[in-house]
Structure 1
């Protein structure tokens, strides 16, 4: 799932950069960029779904409904919009997408590992299941916030 999302992020970052800068902006249609970006994301996800189905049907079945849901994942649209607002070049957009996809894959892997550990952990009954998973997610988010650095001021 992380690999598919990373591929979609990278593909859409490049395509959206090209369409926005080479077609929409010169024609004065930059107000259509959000709609066009959403269409590009949907096409990229369908392409990934077709590729995975052709390459590994077992993986396609294992991912099930989650594969088309990449379209509605906020990271994909958010990354494209962030690239536009930060005025990234084509190379910066691709590198930014690869980094975001790698980070997303890391978080998915860590969450899966934590969920497996929590299944066998001795947790008090009121905290079993979703409550302890949310507590673990909160602690994990605090740990990731440490990567942003400490500035000494409230965020």
Structure 2
């Protein structure tokens, strides 16, 4: 895989095929996170978890599941793998960046379907471990970007006068839909 392919995979996973906006797989943590203090901690933790589970999942699939024709068990292997990696990722993040608030991130990481989707989609494509690392990193950075944008959008919405029926979740879902349409515009960048 060339550097251009790796860069395009990274950008595509972050912007074009965003796991939150184009394939609504990681919407729950975005809507559940109300604290701006935990925003960057969740973004970094999710990115690390996606990269680690993606690469380890690919290696398990390539060297254990495929040789023994156990590919039908992928989900039963990848789900515990991602769950077991949450505690070490949060511990590492706490040691490296003690200023980040990591309390209460465990359920948000466990319920993030985007982490499991990266591993499953990357192993089905089977384009190599470098492609899997680029896909995982791009998906994690894309999640962090959407998380930051949505937090800023949520803060701007709080300062506006919104009709009573649209307050809260309805206006947030409308905003996420409009953000998805804006991200869909990145498709035109990579057309031949």
| TM-score above 0.5 | yes
Q: Which stretch shows the higher mean deviation, 31-40 or 9-18?
A: 31-40
The equivalent residue for 2:140 is 101
Tell me if the contact between 1:83 and 1:93 (Cα under 8 Å) persists in the aligned partners: yes
Give the whole-Å Cα distance in 2 for the aligned partners of 1:69 and 1:44: 14
Q: Deviations over 1:25-82 (max 9, x none)?
A: 22232222221111111111121122234445663xx443333331221111111111
Please report how far the alpha carbon of residue 126 of structure 1 lies from its aligned counterpart in structure 2 after TM superposition.
2.9
- Provide the residue aligned with 2:112 in structure 1: 73
CA distance in 2, matches of 1:148, 1:23: 36
- SS in structure 1 opposite 2:127? coil
Does residue 112 of structure 1 match 2:151?
yes
Query: Which residue of 2 is the match for residue 135 of structure 1?
Result: 174
2 CA distance for matches of 1:38 and 1:69?
Answer: 15
Pairing 1:84–2:123 present:
yes
Aligned position for 1:35: 76
- 8 A contact 1:49–1:68 mirrored in 2: no
Partner of 1:12: 53
Unaligned runs of 5+ in 1: 151-155
When the two chains are superposed, the root-mean-square deviation of aligned CA atoms in Å is 1.9
Structure number with bigger Rg? 1
TM-score of the pair, normalised by structure 1: 0.85
Q: How far apart, in 2, do the equivalents of 1:29 and 1:138 lie? A: 39
Matched residue, 1:44 = 85
TM-score by length of 2: 0.70
Higher relative contact order (CA 8 A, sep 6+): 2
